[in-house]
Amino acid sequence: MKKNLKYNLCWLVLMVAGFYLINTLMLTGVINTFIENMLVTIGINIILAVGLNLIIGFSGQFSLGHAGFMALGAYATGIMTQTMNSAGGFYLSILVGVVISIIVALIVGIPTLRLHGDYFAIATMGAAEIIRIVINNMKITNGAAGLFNIPQFATWDIVYIFVCLTTIVTVNFIHSKNGRAVISIRENEIAAEAMGVNTTKWKLSAFVLGAATAAIAGSLYASYLQTIVPSSFGIMESITILIYAVLGGLGSITGTFVATILLGVLDTALQSLGVLRMVFYAIALIVIMIFRPGGLFGKWEFSFKHLLTRKQNGDMAEVEKEESK
């Protein structure tokens, strides 16, 4: 445990430093509401893309229904905070959103996770559409008009903390015995099964964890924007999240972060160009996919452990060999 303390401390320092950097810039007025809006959107997208990357990049199940789980969280918060107008009510609504999302993910996942590749993608896409259409036709959700005047509890700092928390949970899950079982399914499902790995269980775990974080992102989205309509949780939203994950590299959380931030900034910077914005955005995507077909970072992961040990001894493999002795 002690040997990892140093690296964990590095991460903690990085997270706290990031928080204070944004806080200071905010106080000095460098970050105005326009940029703050961008940062929060990026933060929410990071939560969504990291969760989707867990499902697609690590367990190898191609899901196209992420927006559906986001909608569950968003509506849970939207509906509950209107009657429970307090911070406590907000956090309770996040929890309720997560629980509903987990239940729905189990209902969707148990029958569909035996499907492979395209078939699973279509099934999850259908499930997300069902969620959207149900929301569209319910009274409590105010139908297609959506909910507005949702009290704002999610400020940038709450979003920042949730980005850190969901990422820590996801990354720690990946780098554990259970995470290895999940990755082994992506690598070779038949071999994983022959090694005694319960493939259905671990595929489902990854799917459920991804869905749970999507619900959290949805709650933050609803509370920050204060307005939600069913049409914002359609297939295009799922595709947008997919773009972040694919562009950064399926199987790299570092990549997801970089890609989401990059595209978020690009999106805001190009806003002055009006309709032309989408053309430049698309060109940027095409260029990246041509020169980095595996995504910006492939499966590479930033790690303080590798960084620090390399600095000391030159060669990573050497060090790890030393350690093992």
Partner 1 sequence: MTEALSADHITKVFGGLTAVDDVSLHVNEKELVALIGPNGAGKTTFFNCLTGVAPATSGVVKIGGQEVKKNTKAYKVAQMGISRTFQNIRLFSQLSVLENILIAMTNQFKEGFLTSVFRLPSFYKTEDEMEEKAIALLKDFNLQDVMYYPAGDLPYGTQRKVEIVRALATKPKIICLDEPAAGMNPEETADLTRLIKRLQTEYGIAVLLIEHDMSLVMNLAERIYVLAEGKLLAKGTPEEIQNNQAVIDAYLGGGVDA
Contact positions vs partner 1 (CB under 8 A): 1, 4, 8, 168-169, 172-173, 176-181, 183-184, 187-188, 190-200, 205, 299, 317, 320-321, 324
CB-wise, 200 or 232, nearer to partner 1? 200
d(CA 156, CA 31): 12
For residue 43, the one-letter residue type is: G
Q: Which two tokens stand for residue 317?
A: 């493999």
Q: Which two tokens stand for residue 20?
A: 């204070």
CB of 200 to partner 1, least distance (A): 8
Which residues have CB under 8 Å from 284's CB, separation 6+? 263, 266
CB-wise, 286 or 307, nearer to partner 1? 307
Asked if residues 82 and 150 have their Cβ atoms less than 8 Å apart, the reply is yes
CB of 247 to partner 1, least distance (A): 20
DSSP string, 264-294: HHHHHHGGGGTTHHHHHHHHHHHHHHHH-TT
d(CA 325, CA 320): 9
CB of 322 to partner 1, least distance (A): 12
CB of 301 to partner 1, least distance (A): 13
CB-wise, 25 or 197, nearer to partner 1? 197
Q: Which two tokens stand for residue 172?
A: 């720690």
CB of 215 to partner 1, least distance (A): 17
CB of 275 to partner 1, least distance (A): 41
CB-based burial, 246-261: b 16+ in 10 Å, e otherwise: bbbbbbbbbbbbbbbb
CB of 126 to partner 1, least distance (A): 26
Note the Cα 44 to chain centre separation in Å. Answer: 8
CB-wise, 196 or 293, nearer to partner 1? 196
Note the Cα 180 to chain centre separation in Å. Answer: 20
CB-based burial, 102-122: b 16+ in 10 Å, e otherwise: bebbeebbeebbeeeeeebbe
CB-wise, 151 or 294, nearer to partner 1? 294
CB of 191 to partner 1, least distance (A): 4
CB-wise, 152 or 172, nearer to partner 1? 172
Q: Which two tokens stand for residue 167?
A: 């990422």
Taking phi over 0 as left and psi of -120 to 50 as alpha, with beta for the rest, 295 belongs to left
CB-wise, 175 or 283, nearer to partner 1? 175
CB-wise, 226 or 303, nearer to partner 1? 303
